Amino acid sequence: MSELRKGSETELFVEKVVFGGKALAHVDGFVVFMEHAVPGQKVRARILRKKRQYAEAQVLEVLAQSSEYAEPFCPHFGTCGGCQWQDIPYEAQLRWKREHVLDALVHLAGIEETAVNAVIPSPEVLYYRNKMEFTFSNRRWLLPEEIASRETQYDKTCALGLHVRGYFDKIFNMEACFLESPQSVDILREVRDWCRKSAFSPYSIKEQDGFWRFLVIREGKRTNQTLLHLLTTDRPAGREEVDALSAYLLERFPRITTIVHSVTDKKAQVAMGESSRVVSGPGYIEERLGKALFRISAHSFFQTNPSAVEGLYEKVRQMGGFTGSEIVWDLYCGTGSIAISIASDVRRVTGIEVVEEAVRDAVENCRLNGIDNCRFLAGDLKDVIRKIAGDGNAGETPDVVVTDPPRAGMHPDVVKTLLETAPKRILYVSCNPATLARDLGLLSERYRVCEVQPFDLFPHTSHIETVARLDRRQ
Ligand SMILES: C[S@@+](CC[C@H](N)C(=O)[O-])C[C@H]1O[C@@H](n2cnc3c(N)ncnc32)[C@H](O)[C@@H]1O
């Protein structure tokens, strides 16, 4: 048994990074996890917590550098919760991501290693995102260099930026970011300056009071359109305040094509409005993927890395092996982007999605692209799928099902209905290898996993997207 104690210092050799992004080392066979460490480094670390199965440590010093170390390019790296892996070269990031898919699928779900392809890299590794969500806070988190400067003038009552790594309630003032665009950082700064001078205060998570809550910036990378979504609490004269800020921003940033204002008084820290109004422009932006044009509203899900997702949708199309006669279900369909990318290869697609705004976008997207063989149903998948799979729905037995659930994976009732409906093929698009492994395990009763293709949609983070092709056992 290890002699590690909370507070003790030890030397560690960093062996790998694990799913979720943390680095791992062993001391006498005992597992130690830590942040801010690169495989191949020897570090001095302090034990922060010790549990029965593992310990958590804080790196104090790098004693020997790894041959696989990259110099981070963002000044906020280490503090910011956005990127975890700027200090790992991109090629190595891809290798670790494949390891994590293998760990989940081969070791937990019993899938053959040869079925898992190498990760397809993202065509862009900087400024690849089309959406960023920034949070306001009335308690600004000071950065190490801000504390070191001993500057006493910092206004600590207004922050707008991203979360500090590891903290859901701490926000720092972001001054640089390489994920979306230089424009998005400029907009962020102007909004923050406005907020500082405003009579309204930023929201306090602790007191659940205040006005300014979130700023979401969405960009059409191929159309140069920008949507700003401002979320606030509902306050008298709040509308006029947002209108004034909007007019100010529209004058400064000609690429802002639309602004939406949503209000929410819910405690949950999610950028989802209870009611919304369009302040300026059409209330949505457009984006191109392949030959198709998509309309995206403020609350609709749309894949955040357009250049990489084109390859993913193409892979879905190839894995489908469509002949033109198939009936397809597109589960968790968002704005219909998968349905639209396969529509001309199949007979009919039925998409299901819980966010009504996204369903309206999906219908409009079909119209925009001259597609008339897709229909979309709004509602919780576990309820809607049972209805469309049930009686009185002759002709709606799918040949192929594409499913693209959120991180939590598919609801057990959805898996059950899929097993009963038993389409010939299931294409499972997943952003979480752990829930993918769980669901593939459940589906293995009737399905064999034939091919798994991981994609890197999120460079410099530990996130990984995977497409798996499952064929029904005869
Ligand atoms: C990962 S996204 C996939 C969207 C789409 N396939 C795409 O590629 O853009 C997951 C989608 O599932 C939707 N969703 C989440 N929970 C749901 C549920 N219980 N029933 C139906 N849709 C749900 C979300 O709103 C989101 O649009």
Lowest-confidence region among 5-19, 285-299, 390-404, 436-450: 390-404
In this structure, the chain runs to a length of: 474
377 falls within a domain: yes
Q: What is the band of 150 on the pLDDT scale with cuts at 50, 70, 90?
A: low
40 falls within a domain: yes
The residue out of 289, 316, 334 marking a domain boundary is 289
How far apart, in whole angstroms, are the C-alpha atoms of residue 351 and residue 406? 15
Q: Tens of pLDDT along 180-212?
A: 999 999 999 999 999 999 999 999 988 899 999
Whole-number Å distance, alpha carbon 469 to ligand 1 midpoint, is 19
Q: By alpha-carbon position, which residue is closest to atom 15 of ligand 1?
A: 406
241 falls within a domain: yes
The residue out of 289, 314, 337 marking a domain boundary is 289
Say how many domains are in the chain: 3
Residue 168 pLDDT:
82
Domain that holds residue 112: 93-124+305-472
Residues 257 and 355 in one domain: no
Residue 47 pLDDT:
96
What's the DSSP call for residue 425? E
Atom of ligand 1 nearest to the CA of 411: 19
Residue 342 pLDDT:
97
Residues 180 and 309 in one domain: no
Q: Is the pLDDT of residue 352 over 70?
A: yes
Q: What is the band of 413 on the pLDDT scale with cuts at 50, 70, 90?
A: very high
The residue out of 260, 289, 318 marking a domain boundary is 289
Residue position matching structure tokens 């899938």: 111
Q: Is the pLDDT of residue 2 over 80?
A: no
Q: With pLDDT > 70 as the criterion, what percentage of the chain qualifies?
A: 97
Residues 152 and 202 in one domain: yes
Ligand 1 pocket, Cβ-based, cut-off 6 angstroms: 301-303, 332-334, 337-338, 352-355, 358, 380-381, 404-406, 431
Mutate which of 353, 388, 401 to test ligand 1's pocket (most atoms within 8 Å of Cβ)?
A: 353
87 falls within a domain: no
76 falls within a domain: no
How far apart, in whole angstroms, are the C-alpha atoms of residue 19 and residue 468? 18
E strand intervals along 233-283? 256-263, 275-280
Residues 108 and 171 in one domain: no
Whole-number Å distance, alpha carbon 336 to ligand 1 midpoint, is 10
Q: Is the pLDDT of residue 152 over 70?
A: no
Residues 271 and 315 in one domain: no
**CATH number (domain holding residue 395):** 3.40.50.150
Residue 389 pLDDT:
84
Helix (H), strand (E) counts: the chain: 10, 23
End-to-end CA distance of the chain: 50
Task: Report, as an integer, the average pLDDT of 10-30.
Answer: 95
Residue 114 pLDDT:
86
Task: Report, as an integer, the average pLDDT of 252-269.
Answer: 96
Residues 36 and 109 in one domain: no
Task: Report, as an integer, the average pLDDT of 318-334.
Answer: 97
Residue 387's CB is within 10 A of a number of other CB atoms, namely 15
Residue 391 pLDDT:
56
Whole-number Å distance, alpha carbon 420 to ligand 1 midpoint, is 22
251 falls within a domain: yes
Residues 453 and 323 in one domain: yes
The CA-atom distances, in angstroms, between 114 and each of 28, 105, 110, 119, 468 are 33, 11, 12, 13, 13
**For residues 85 and 22, is the Cβ–Cβ distance under 8 A?**
no
Residue 158 pLDDT:
87
Residues 339 and 365 in one domain: yes
295 falls within a domain: no
Residues 120 and 165 in one domain: no
Mutate which of 332, 365, 435 to test ligand 1's pocket (most atoms within 8 Å of Cβ)?
A: 332
**CATH number (domain holding residue 196):** 2.40.50.1070
Which stretches of 140-267 are DSSP H helices? 144-148, 182-197, 238-252
Residues 151 and 211 in one domain: yes
348-353 and 374-378: which strand pairing? Answer: parallel
**CATH number (domain holding residue 42):** 2.40.50.140
Backbone angles phi, psi at 465, to 5 degrees: -110, 140
Angle at 189 between CA 185 and CA 190, to 5 degrees: 120
Q: By alpha-carbon position, which residue is closest to atom 17 of ligand 1?
A: 354
Residue 59 pLDDT:
96
389 falls within a domain: yes
How far apart, in whole angstroms, are the C-alpha atoms of residue 168 and residue 81? 9
Q: What is the band of 154 on the pLDDT scale with cuts at 50, 70, 90?
A: low
Residue 372 burial (10 A CB sphere; 0-12, 13-18, 19+): exposed
Whole-number Å distance, alpha carbon 380 to ligand 1 midpoint, is 10
- DSSP labels, 322-363: --S--EEEEES-TTTHHHHHHGGGSSEEEEEES-HHHHHHHH
Q: Listing from the earlier edge strand, what are the strands of the sheet with 54-64? A: 9-13, 42-50, 54-64, 30-34, 23-27, 16-17
431 catalytically annotated: yes
Whole-number Å distance, alpha carbon 409 to ligand 1 midpoint, is 10
Q: By alpha-carbon position, which residue is closest to atom 11 of ligand 1?
A: 332
Whole-number Å distance, alpha carbon 354 to ligand 1 midpoint, is 7
Q: Tens of pLDDT along 63-102?
A: 999 999 999 999 999 999 999 999 999 999 999 999 999 9
Given the residues 74, 80, 431, 450, the one annotated as active site? 431
Q: What is the band of 1 on the pLDDT scale with cuts at 50, 70, 90?
A: very low
Q: What is the average pLDDT score of the chain?
A: 94
Mutate which of 301, 360, 387, 428 to test ligand 1's pocket (most atoms within 8 Å of Cβ)?
A: 301
Q: How many CA atoms lie within 13 A of 321 on its CB side?
A: 11
Residues 264 and 316 in one domain: no
30-34 and 447-455: which strand pairing? Answer: unpaired
Q: Tens of pLDDT along 420-473?
A: 999 999 999 999 999 999 999 999 999 999 999 999 999 999 999 999 999 999
Top-confidence range, 106-110, 134-138, 268-272: 134-138
Q: Which of 283, 341, 327, 329 is nearest to 428 (CA)?
A: 329
Residues 139 and 264 in one domain: yes
